Amino acid sequence: MLRILALIYKRLFEAFGPRHWWPGETPFEVIIGAILTQNTAWTNVEKAINNLKSQDLLTPERLKHLPEDELAELIRPAGYYNLKANRLKEFIKFLFSHYAGDLNQMFNQDMWELRRELLGVKGIGPETADSILLYAGQKPIFVVDAYTRRMLTRHNLIEKKTSYTQIQDLFMTNLKQDVQLYNEYHALIVQLGKEICKSKPKCDICPLKNNSGYTNINYPFAPKI
């Protein structure tokens, strides 16, 4: 499996190059983006974040004191703005109640314990929690999203019913524990999903296909995980 994952990474990196993901000037901005990007395009998230920036609100303390309805209006471009405003407030509440509003203190926590705590915050699921840990906290944890599942399923490396944890373990047990590698790998999969491995895939131009037009990642000995 290590050979397969290494080949996928090599092909994607050759096709797309370094992605420099996740965009954000500070860890807190990355966290806000991770929560806002649920069920929407990143271009919409950028608009919402720019609204917060224009009001100089991208700090835990300032968002803590901002009324939820005002926050909702500012993040309206991200969609589901009332729901997401509540989720942002829930995270802020968690940050202050557990870590006195200090992100450095939060990220000094053991990675798996912090992940458990984040999953206890209303509105934060595994993908969002892991995005916060990897991209904002620089923790070595692999982020799994719909693009990851789609790519692996189409190449018969997992079954459709494979869980988030099983997919994450597939990467983390076969790749070295490395923040930069996990960051780049996930970003490359996202790029593949956006450009080629769409709902209606463009298999003819996929970097994971061989010269005969079939994917050479489609091994008959895909592991049972």
Q: Along the 225 residues of the chain, how does pLDDT read in single tens digits? A: 888 999 999 999 999 999 988 888 999 999 999 999 999 999 999 999 999 999 999 999 999 999 999 999 999 999 999 999 999 999 999 999 999 999 999 999 999 999 999 999 999 999 999 999 999 999 999 999 999 999 999 999 999 899 999 999 999 999 999 999 999 999 999 999 999 999 999 999 999 986 434 345 443 333 333
C-beta separation of 172 from 144 below 8 A: no
Q: Which residues touch 217 (CB under 8 Å, ≥6 apart)?
A: 4, 7, 8, 155, 157, 208
User: What residues have CB less than 8 Å from 219, skipping those under 6 apart?
Assistant: 4, 156, 157
CATH number, domain 27-136: 1.10.340.30
Q: Any residues with CB less than 8 A from the CB of 152 and at least 6 apart, and which?
A: 158, 162, 167, 170
Q: Are 109 and 129 in contact (CB under 8 A)?
A: no
- Taking residue 155's Cβ as centre, other Cβ atoms within 10 Å add up to 20
- Compute the 3-state secondary structure of the chain and give helix, strand, coil in percent, each to the nearest 5: 60, 0, 40
Same fold for the pair 2-19+143-205 and 27-136: no
Domain range 2-19+143-205, CATH architecture: Orthogonal Bundle (1.10)
Tokens representing residue 82 in the block: 């009332």
Contact 135, 124 (CB under 8 A): no
Going through 50-115 in order, the beta strands assigned E by DSSP cover none
Domain boundaries, the chain: 2-19+143-205, 27-136
